[in-house]
Amino acid sequence: MIKESFSLTTKKNTHYACEMVNLDSSHFEEAYAIDMRAFEELNGKYIKKSEAFIKACLRSECSVGIKTGNTLIATVTVNIEKINDEKRASILGFEEHWPVFIGFIEGAYVLPTFRKQGLISRLYCKAVQLLKEKGIQHIYSAIDPRNHANIIAMTKSDFALQNLYHSNLNGDLRYLIKHHSEQVFLTDKQHTVLIDDHDTQVAYFKKGYIGVHITVKNIVSGKTSDNKSATCMMLMKKR
């Protein structure tokens, strides 16, 4: 059971005592409400989760959150999933032996007041550590291609974009993201691609490239985002 304390000063110069915690079934109401906030704020860029699904994530022992007092201000929900069929393995581009358990980061949310303070980076790092402690080597996530803030946050936490695919839940386009603790296997061969140029990206993904870094100007996350005015480049490196 984790309990890590730290302090945080927001942009308005308010100080908060924070604690990182494992999320379990006792956090269901709050964690579900936060997931619904993400769904509403992301306005079509986030797949709505059922109550049963959030409960499953809270049973994984790898979902984590940050509290101030008794209030959750940031969460990362993680599911542990067994890969035991060809179709799922193929969506994930899974080339190892299966059946095998994988970790999947299903949700991430930081309350607006507490953004850009490194909270999601802390939570991704802890979720990855907890999954690895359970012997889970393959850790994935999926993101709407328009959610540049979280794509940046994930690539900065050693996740790389591996593919573009259509969700089996609602058909929406998603980047498939995978955690890579070892970057050494990447060659120096690299290309930069516009973030909206999906056709070129897919062609590179097919050749074994992965997206490792995003450069974006002028974006904010959430409802007010104006991604059209942003210049976004993805740096792709050959595996």
For residues 27 and 25, give the distance between their C-alpha atoms in angstroms, rounded to a whole number. Answer: 5
Tell me the residue ranges of DSSP E strands in the chain.
Answer: 3-9, 15-22, 64-68, 71-83, 100-110, 139-143, 159-166, 173-179, 190-194, 209-216, 232-238
* Identity of the residue, 100 or 220, whose beta carbon is nearer to ligand COA in the bound complex: 220
Nearest distance in Å: CB 42, ligand COA: 6
Cα–Cα distance for residue pair 61/79, rounded to 1 Å: 9
Q: Decide: is 176 part of the binding site for ligand COA (CB under 6 A).
A: no
Interacting residue with ligand COA among 19, 41, 158, 172 (CB under 6 A): 41
| Binding flag, residue 152, ligand COA (CB under 6 A) | yes
Half-sphere exposure of 199 (CA within 13 A, CB side): 0
Nearest to 116 by CA among 9, 231, 5: 9
Residue nearer to ligand COA on the CB measure, 196 or 222:
222
Q: Does residue 222 bind ligand COA (CB under 6 A)? A: yes
CA distance 202 to 80: 27
Q: Tokens for 81? A: 């999933």
Binds ligand COA by CB under 6 A, chosen from 20, 89, 120, 176:
120
Least gap, CB of 99 to ligand COA (angstroms): 27
- List of residues 6+ apart from 169 with CB closer than 8 A: 47
Candidates 14-22, 59-67, 112-120, 205-213 — which segment interacts with ligand COA by CB under 6 A? 112-120
Among positions 156, 191, 213, 238, the unique one binding ligand COA when judged by CB under 6 A: 156
Per rule CB under 6 A, is residue 117 in the interface with ligand COA?
Answer: yes
CA distance linking residue 100 with residue 207, whole number of Å:
26
Candidate list 150, 162, 163, 201; residue touching ligand COA; CB under 6 A: 150
Binding region for ligand COA (CB under 6 A)? 38, 41-42, 46, 108-110, 115-121, 143, 147, 149-150, 152-153, 156, 216, 219-222
